[in-house]
Structure formats: structure tokens, C-alpha cells
Amino acid sequence: MSGTRRRPAGGGSTIRHRHRPRSRSRQSRRFRRSRRCLRPTQPRHVSTDGADFPHTMNSQVAHRTHSRERPSSRVQLRLRVFSGVHAGAEFRLPERGILMVGQADDCDLILGDAEIRDHHCVLTVVGDQVLLRALNGEVEIQERRVADGENVALEPFTMVRLGKVWFAIGPHWSERWLSLDNAIDHAAVRVAEKQLAGRRRGVLAIATALLAFALVVLLGSWKVSHPANIHPRSASEQLEATQGILHQMSLQHVVANIDGGDRLVVHGVVGNVAQLPELKRKLSAAGLTTELAVRDWPSVAKQVKDIFGMHGYTVETRLLDQGLIEVDGHFGDPDNTERVKREVLGSADMQNLNSDVGLNLALRNYDERKPEAPKLDEGKLIQHVSSGADSYVVTRDQSRYYPGSSLPQGGIFVGVTSDQNILLRMRDNTYMQLNKDDKYMTPQPLGDMNSIDMERLMPAAPGSSAAAAAPAAVTQSVAKAVPAKEAPASNHR
């Protein structure tokens, strides 16, 4: 922030924030995060471009002048807090970036108010555009509740409420900051009235419940028993109970483990937004105290797309097994793909996301050309296929291949299926197939197979399955093809 700073007797607090470099060590990143943590400090005012602005809800306007000329064509946005523990604090937003807001230590903007969740919301900043995404905390914009996972574009000076914390975002030099104080006062009064009405209803409900409870105690006092002693569960018992809940909810991408301090840590990704509060409810009902670092997949996918978008790439994402995210897009030639891995996957935003939920990213480049299949000699193209107990293959140069032989197309000849397709066993013990419809040109993958699968593929050739199981029993040479003396036919041997 430009200008000078002084500390008068009243007012709010201002948070200074430095631009962070693209690459830094974990220790340096932790130190800089601690400086961004919004903590209550001695009140002070900030002078910007010769103008003093109030930073608290009840600041008095006196002897203020303002510059009506925009300082620069580049918009510098500020986030200003108007209520809560950090009332009056300021945070300078980067020109491009993704900021996590919440109570957790890994957040970019840390709020210490009781109503703030660990990961309350995400702010995506691109120039003068700001997008807010609600995660798992109460978010209200202009008296409208924002659903978890919903994205809302923030107009300048739009009032946002997180629990009891009010803040707004706008250019730091604008005079509109002065008009927000009164708006905050009125909004706070409305919220207080709603809370007071709720407390009154709550007092009546509690009084009714106490009367009912007293009646039950008096009527059933003859049957009172002492509660059993509750023994605290060990870390291994808590881990087993947590894993049972994860298995019950079929959360394949969420993992529970015990860290070095014997704390139960649960991290990963749930499939949809509704599963996260359900998981929290079940863990709480089971009496399990965990360090929860779980995000919903829609918000993670959106954040991954936003990070790639800030680097100029439009991508699609897919959640694979074991928390692996496949990122599909056009990344150019292989050299450029390596640059994308360094700049995007190695960026601080992506590394923070990976450390939060323990994800791995894999790039799939649409621009990479698949290697072409080797061109075969015209004489090695398959001309005739014979199935049955003594199946064989004849190529155009009249060479004959029996089960156990190596075919020019690659792989060991296993047999001929009932559909006149050729079954191959590759060096890695996987199976592929030369299809008749493809004129036996390119092997197609079949995956892992067993004797039952081959029996199904080749019901008329049981000898071929045996040949696959014991290729050494084949009398023909594996490495040498037998030339045919006459035109191939189905009765050739």
C-alpha cells in the first residue's frame, strides 16, 4: 500500500502484505502466510494518495479530502474487513491468484472469528474481476445465502458476510469506501434483530424442554442408573472406526491415517458437495476427533481449471482412482508440455492444492501424436486364417505360423477365436487380438485373461488354449515360420 501509516487512538487495523515470489521454500511460505493472518492489532488509519479512510464501522469522518483522479490504469484491489475480530483490517489482493479464506493454517487469508470454518470460501482474482466460491461455511452476499459450491462474481464494493464477518472488495483509491460504513451499521442491526428473535425462541424452547425433562425425572426416578465409565479410545481404535465410516460411505478417494503426533488425519476428495457434511456428521456422532482436510470434487475440479486458466490453458478434468486427477487439454509439442509441468503443476497455488488434499495430477496432451504402428512388409500381411483343433495362419509370402510362433505383427500366436480373430500373448503377459474386420493389421488390447476367458473366445479350439498355457509343447519352432508348399486352405496341416 502506498502512502504513510500512523496509529491514532481509534480505528481499525491494517494488514501489510508483500508480493510473494513464484517459487519459495516451504519455510519461507509458512513465514509469509503468518504475516497475512488477520490478527487484532492496535487501531490505525491509512493514508492513501493524500486521503485518510476509516477502517471501522463507527469511524467518524472529519477533515478528509480525496483524489478524484484514478492513480493508474492498473486496478489495485483491496479487501477490507468491517466487523468481527479483525474489523478495520486490509488485505491487498494480487493481480492474478487464488486465495483460500478460513481458519486453517494453510489458508491465504486467515480469519480468527468463531463462525469461520477451516476452509470457508475461495476467492479467484483475475485483474479487476473477483469470483467467490462458497465451500463449507455460511456465505451471504447482499442478503442472499450462497450455497456450498456455488460461484458468484463479486461486483466492486459488494458487501459479503462470512458468519458475522463483513467485508468488501474494491479499488483502494475509491471514495465509495466512505459510504460502506453506514451500510454496515444498518446490516449489523438487521442481523442483530434476527439473532435476538432467534434467542428468544430458543429460550422458550429450552424452558419447555427443561420442564418436560424434570417431569420425566420425577416419574422415572425409581429406575435411575449410574452411567458407565467411558474409556478414551486409542489412536488405532479411532483409525479403525474412521476407516469403517469411509468404507460405509464408499469414499474411495478419502484416506485416514495417524500422523507423527498420534493425531487422526482424514484427507482427500469426496464425490459431491453433500457428502462432506454427511462425513462430518458421522465422524462427530461416532465421537471421533480428526484433523479434516477433505474437499468436494466439484470445488477441486473448478480450482484446477482456474489455475490452468490463469496460465492461459483451457482444460477438462477427471477424477481417477487413488486421488489421481487427469487434466486433458491442448498443450502443444512435447517441449511445451514439459514447460506446462514446470510452470503450472509447479506453481504455488497448485502445490498448495496438492498438499491440502493429497492429490496427484497427470497431463493428457491432445496435441501429442501417437506413434505410428510399424509398417510391415507386404509379404508378411496375413492372407489366410484356419481355425479348429490345428489352427494356423498363412501370410502372403506363403509362410505358415502355428500356435507358439511369433507373428510379424507382434506377440506370440495363441490361437484363432470363433470369430476368426487371432489371439496374441504379448511380452508383458497381456493379451491382444488381430481382428478380421481390420484385416489383421493392428493388435487391439484385451486386458488380462485366464483359461476361462480363452475357452470362451475359442470354444472350438481347446488345443489352442493348451498351447497358450504351455508354448514349449508346440512342435513347431517359435522363432521360425514354416513356409507353405501350396496355396493355403482350411484343410492344410
259 vs 74: CA distance, rounded Å: 46
Q: Which three cell numbers stand for residue 44?
A: 490505525
Residue pLDDT, tens place only, 173-223: 777 777 776 556 555 545 555 555 555 555 556 666 655 555 544 444 333
Least confident of 114-123, 152-161, 342-351, 403-412: 342-351
Residue 370: its pLDDT value, please? 52
Residue 366: its pLDDT value, please? 79
42 or 393: which carries more pLDDT confidence?
393
Residue 137 has pLDDT above 90, yes or no: no
493 or 420: which carries more pLDDT confidence?
420
φ and ψ of 325, to 5 deg: -105, 125
33 or 157: which carries more pLDDT confidence?
157
Q: What is the mean pLDDT of residues 264-272?
A: 81
Residue 437 has pLDDT above 50, yes or no: yes
Residue 323 has pLDDT above 80, yes or no: no
Is residue 373 within 8 A of residue 442, CB to CB? The reply is: yes
Least confident of 247-256, 343-352, 372-381, 481-490: 481-490
Is residue 172 within 8 A of residue 77, CB to CB? The reply is: yes
* Best CA proximity match to 307, nearest among 100, 62, 65, 63: 100
Residue 194: its pLDDT value, please? 54
The answer for residues whose C-beta is within 8 angstroms of residue 229's C-beta and 6 or more apart is none
Least confident of 243-247, 340-344, 365-369, 421-425: 365-369
209 or 71: which carries more pLDDT confidence?
209
Residue 147 has pLDDT above 70, yes or no: yes
Helices (H), 130-234: 180-219
Gyration radius of the chain over CA positions: 34
352 vs 361: CA distance, rounded Å: 13
Residue 391: its pLDDT value, please? 87
What percent of the chain clears pLDDT 70, i.e. is strictly above it?
A: 60
455 vs 409: CA distance, rounded Å: 23
Q: Which domains does the chain have, with CATH numbers?
A: 5-185 (2.60.200.20), 234-370 (no CATH), 378-483 (no CATH)
Q: Which three cell numbers stand for residue 299?
A: 470445488
φ and ψ of 5, to 5 deg: -125, 140
150 vs 163: CA distance, rounded Å: 17
Q: Which three cell numbers stand for residue 252?
A: 474411495
Residue 214: its pLDDT value, please? 52
Residue 168: its pLDDT value, please? 92
What percent of the chain clears pLDDT 90, i.e. is strictly above it?
A: 6
Task: Report residue 160's pLDDT band, with 50, 70 and 90 as the boundaries.
Answer: very high
Task: Report residue 14's pLDDT band, with 50, 70 and 90 as the boundaries.
Answer: very low
Residue 230 has pLDDT above 70, yes or no: no
Residue 43: its pLDDT value, please? 36
Q: What is the mean pLDDT of residues 113-119?
A: 90
HSE-up (13 A, CA, CB side) for residue 151: 14
Residue 198: its pLDDT value, please? 54
253 vs 424: CA distance, rounded Å: 36
292 membership: H or E segment, kind and range: strand 291-296
Residue 313: its pLDDT value, please? 86
**Is residue 294 classed as helix, strand or coil in its secondary structure?**
strand
Residue 484: its pLDDT value, please? 40
Task: Report residue 140's pLDDT band, with 50, 70 and 90 as the boundaries.
Answer: very high
Residue 200: its pLDDT value, please? 54
Tracing cell 509370402 back to the chain, one arrives at: 397
436 vs 416: CA distance, rounded Å: 10
268 or 99: which carries more pLDDT confidence?
99
59 or 147: which carries more pLDDT confidence?
147
Residue 457: its pLDDT value, please? 61
Residue 123: its pLDDT value, please? 92
Task: Report residue 132's pLDDT band, with 50, 70 and 90 as the boundaries.
Answer: very high
252 or 79: which carries more pLDDT confidence?
79
415 membership: H or E segment, kind and range: strand 412-416
